[in-house]
Amino acid sequence: MAVLDNIRVVLVEPIFGGNIGSVCRVINNNDITDLAIVKPRPTTDWDDARKLACNAKDQLDARKEFNTLAEAIADCTVVAATSARTGFYRDTAYTPREFSPIALESAKDHKIALVFGREDKGLHNEELALCTHIIQIPSSKRYTSLNLSHAVMLCCHELFTASETFQPSEEKADEAGSELRERMFATWREMMIKTEFTHEQKLEHMMMGLRRIFSRGKLTVPDVKILMGLAKQSIWVSNQWKKAEKHD
Amino acid sequence: MAVLDNIRVVLVEPIFGGNIGSVCRVINNNDITDLAIVKPRPTTDWDDARKLACNAKDQLDARKEFNTLAEAIADCTVVAATSARTGFYRDTAYTPREFSPIALESAKDHKIALVFGREDKGLHNEELALCTHIIQIPSSKRYTSLNLSHAVMLCCHELFTASETFQPSEEKADEAGSELRERMFATWREMMIKTEFTHEQKLEHMMMGLRRIFSRGKLTVPDVKILMGLAKQSIWVSNQWKKAEKHD
């Protein structure tokens, strides 16, 4: 199933080798084969990883390693973060079941990523900012904290089962990848500063608002070009204004 | 939540203490509290069990132990066995998702059981015979063997979500109505003219692009305020620029 080949599971700074091994087995159980690890720790117990990978040791050996989350997802369109916490724009979360059709639709033609944070501290806000969707796994109010490999299992199982009945729909313009999207956000950030739209301390909050707005649907390459062009024009106008005032 | 109290997870002769501990955490993640172990092995590594139970150590201490599966399920109506293999009446299996409504219907008034076999040899045929339903978890044809705690997670998660005790977090902010939205689009239109972003003849085309982008998901009132504020600021900057140039 080609769609499953386009799904990348990304673990950010995992602590326990056993969890990495378990994740290898889990993704193989669900016909997923693309595993990336961001900032692997020197203290990782790789023996434990091999033990828990069972018959998925090839998967462990085939893992890719990256220094930053941005690099690990550069070629991905949809990027979903799992988060147990709420607040700070985490309040528009999808369940794994709601998310699966969205993911499979994009995975038809593009790489997409499922991102899982550290066992103890999850993802940092700067990492969350790079993600287009937030997944919250339904769980008991009394004990919301899932083991890392169990969280991966639930997300991958939903994608696997949904892929069996998946009917792709027709698509026109090409979807924008993370790198292009981030260039656009950087331009918008510059526009906010140059137009003096907001105080420095409110800037990141505004940026998160914009990120959520633009992540509600797929952004195509032409969409991003319009949005980037608009911001560039405002930056240009701001520069003209400052030049003209100087001549005053 | 009473239905979940009526669900018993039964592990038959588990080999690894770590798996027992993981199962404790998993069932607590899903508001299930009734754990039974059939024929616990003298070789069980209980330290490992405690370690992997994390904050579900109470659950580990509260486990019940039985000498036979028959005793462990004596008071249960529906008894479901999970099985990776097919054959021997295993060919009328349910997926966890198909099984959940059946289980919950009975669990309204009766104890029901989910039975999981040994990590290496599963359930014996005499044990399978005691079960009323067989559950087969959808998985890759290339690697069907799931870790014990992962199998328990998938079954319990289906029951938990089907029981609808989970309240997904919802967007708190109010959704923007057409009037507010149109005021925002009018502001953006003005921004495009004032910043000289586009030729008159391309303006409506650009506006349609923006409308499409902003209509892919719900826009809340705060979202619209950010977007409108940004456009107003660019208009203000454009006006400043033209004033400054005039003074030149």
Q: Which residues of A touch B224 (CB under 8 A)?
A: none
Taking 60 as the threshold, does the pLDDT of residue A66 lie above it?
yes
Q: Which residues of A touch B248 (CB under 8 A)?
A: 244, 247-248
Residue in this structure with the two tokens 């004032």, named with its chain if needed: B194
Report pLDDT for A86.
Answer: 56
Report pLDDT for A67.
Answer: 97
| Nearest residue in chain A measured CA to CA from B160 | A139
Report pLDDT for B205.
Answer: 84
User: Between B22, B140, B206, which is nearest A28 by CB?
Assistant: B140
Report pLDDT for B220.
Answer: 86
How far does the CA of residue A19 sit from the closest CA of chain B (Å)? 11
State the Cα–Cα distance between residues B211 and B223, nearest whole angstrom. Answer: 14
In percent, how much of chain B has pLDDT > 70? Answer: 92
ipTM over 0.85: no
When pLDDT is cut at 50, 70 and 90, the band that residue B30 belongs to is: very high
Q: Quick check: pTM over 0.80? A: no
Strand residues in B83-200 grouped as ranges (E): 111-116, 133-135
Instruction: Output DSSP code: residue B177.
Output: P
Binary contact (B237, A233; C-beta < 8 A):
no
In percent, how much of chain A has pLDDT > 90? Answer: 66
Report pLDDT for B153.
Answer: 97
State the angle between helix axes of B178-194 and B221-247 in degrees (0 to 180), rounded to the nearest 10: 20
Type of residue found at A207: M
Q: What is the DSSP string of B91-120?
A: GGPBPHHHHHHHHHHHHTTSEEEEEE-BTT
Report pLDDT for B169.
Answer: 53
Report pLDDT for A172.
Answer: 66
Taking 90 as the threshold, does the pLDDT of residue B68 lie above it?
yes
Which of A43-57, A218-232, B25-39 is the least confident region?
A218-232
Report pLDDT for B195.
Answer: 92
Taking 90 as the threshold, does the pLDDT of residue B105 lie above it?
no
Q: What is the pLDDT of residues A141-188, one digit of tens each?
A: 888 889 999 999 999 999 999 997 655 555 567 888 999 999 999 999
Report pLDDT for B6.
Answer: 94
Report pLDDT for B164.
Answer: 76
Taking 90 as the threshold, does the pLDDT of residue B88 lie above it?
no
Q: Which residues of A touch B55 (CB under 8 A)?
A: 143, 145
Which of A47-56, A168-177, B56-65 is the least confident region?
A168-177
Report pLDDT for A15.
Answer: 97
Residue in this structure with the two tokens 């994009």, named with its chain if needed: A106
Taking only Cα atoms into account, the Rg of chain A, rounded to an integer number of angstroms, comes to 20
Q: Mean pLDDT: which of B114-123, B194-203, B212-221 is highest?
A: B114-123
| Nearest residue in chain A measured CA to CA from B152 | A150
Q: B10 in helix, strand or coil?
A: strand
Taking 80 as the threshold, does the pLDDT of residue B247 lie above it?
no
User: Between A56, A86, A191, which is nearest B143 by CB?
Assistant: A56
State the Cα–Cα distance between residues A71 and A64, nearest whole angstrom. Answer: 11
Taking 70 as the threshold, does the pLDDT of residue B118 lie above it?
yes
How far does the CA of residue B239 sit from the closest CA of chain A (Å)? 9
Q: What is the pLDDT of residues A67-109, one digit of tens each?
A: 999 999 999 999 999 986 655 555 578 999 999 999 999 999 8
When pLDDT is cut at 50, 70 and 90, the band that residue B248 belongs to is: low
Report pLDDT for B244.
Answer: 87
Mean pLDDT to the nearest integer, B88-103: 79
Q: In what order do the strands lie in the sheet with B133-135?
A: B64-66, B34-38, B7-12, B111-116, B76-82, B133-135
When pLDDT is cut at 50, 70 and 90, the band that residue A35 belongs to is: very high
Q: What is the pLDDT of residues B220-246, one digit of tens each?
A: 888 999 999 999 999 999 999 988 888
Q: What is the DSSP string of A89-143?
A: T-SSPBPHHHHHHHHHHHHTTSEEEEEE-BTTTB--HHHHHT-SEEE-----TT-
Which of B212, B228, B240 has the most A C-beta neighbours within 10 Å, making it the best mutation to test the interface with A?
B240
Which of B7, B98, B195, B242 has the most A C-beta neighbours within 10 Å, making it the best mutation to test the interface with A?
B195
Average pLDDT, chain A: 90
Mean pLDDT to the nearest integer, B152-166: 89
User: Between A138, A192, A234, which is nearest B195 by CB?
Assistant: A234
Q: What is the pLDDT of residues B2-29, one digit of tens each?
A: 899 999 999 999 999 999 999 999 999 9
Report pLDDT for A248.
Answer: 66
Report pLDDT for B165.
Answer: 61
Which of A9-18, B85-94, B124-133 is the least confident region?
B85-94
Binary contact (B138, A146; C-beta < 8 A):
no
